[in-house]
Amino acid sequence: MEPETEHHALFVCPHARALRGKLRKHWRLPLENDLMNEGPEWLLLLLARLTREEGAGLALLFWRTWYVHNERVHKSKVIEMLASVTFLQHYATTLTLVRQRGAEVDGKGKGVVEVLGGSCRQPTMKERWRAPPTGWIKVNVNGAFDHISKRAGVGVVARDEWGKVVLSAWRVVFDAKLPEEIKMLACREGANLATEWVRAKVIIKTDCTVVANMLIKRESKRSELCFLAREVFRCCAELPDVVFQAVRRECNSAAHELAQLAKRTAHTAVWRWDVPQCIKQLVTQDCILIE
């Protein structure tokens, strides 16, 4: 028998499963396969892939599930399933009204209300990573910057046309000055690693449009980034071919998580053919989408 842990109470308990099943008739919730514990930060990674509406619904569901669990364990009080479903629907509607209080209303004080259960469709995931053309390696890079501590981190993930990881890396940066500087440092790190370990045609992707445009157009109008940009070009000169592209944040989530890891742990590492546990689920999901 599985021990009575927080994970069991929120995800495995028969009541929790049954309540999710009932609410899926009204709200957009992740499928059961997406609610499996596959690593230390699996829930944070799941929430990052959901829309705001879906994430809010999941948070309310967890809150109610935990309340029902405590009532049963500490007070021997059983709360009917229908009562929980009704309560959550009414509570979500109230929160939506509060959020929309500043919206335009008509002469009778009425306005348009959007609730969590707009339809019973399955959750629509945000746009994700796309595989490179045959013979190319895609190198996603990103940077994370703390304005207070000035500590930053860069993350790099290189994958082939099948989504197979060629390398992953993260590096801590101290005394950072600007977010754009960290983004350019991430590009330099990606170019350096590609030159050393990949030596193939490379697509370097960053979610910073300022940096991407500067590298694509080979411009140097921003003097604080000019030196770093020249270093990126110097590294890329040793590769067969290099293309710089801008990418949406949701398509760059693996590199983003590694940048956060470096900043949070003040650690630096390079892994060949693998990734740390905190992004395994993201990379696996990308491969599933390719298939």
pLDDT single digits (tens) 29-67: 888 877 877 666 778 777 777 787 888 888 888 889 888
- Judge contact between 282 and 45, C-beta under 8 A: yes
Residue with tokens 């890079």: 141
Domains of the chain: 6-99 (no CATH), 136-290 (3.30.420.10)
pLDDT value of residue 172: 95
Q: Pick the residue with more confidence: 224 or 122?
A: 224
> At residue 272, does pLDDT exceed 50?
yes
Q: Rounded distance, CA 179 to CA 8, Å?
A: 40
pLDDT value of residue 4: 65
What ranges make up the beta strands (E) of 174-291? 201-206, 242-246, 269-272
pLDDT value of residue 124: 46
For the ranges 46-60, 117-131, 266-280, which has the lowest average pLDDT? 117-131
Q: Which residues pair with 152 in a beta bridge?
A: 145, 173
Which residues does 156 contact at the CB level (< 8 Å), separation at least 6?
139, 140, 141, 167, 168, 169, 170, 186, 189, 190, 193, 255, 258
Per-residue CA distances from 170 to 126, 231, 271 (Å): 25, 19, 9
Q: Which token pair is 158?
A: 């290189």
Q: Residue 280's pLDDT band (boundaries 50, 70, 90)?
A: confident
Q: Rounded distance, CA 116 to CA 270, Å?
A: 42
Kind of pairing between the strands at 201-206 and 136-145: parallel
Residue with tokens 């080979």: 218
The pTM assigned to this predicted structure is 0.59
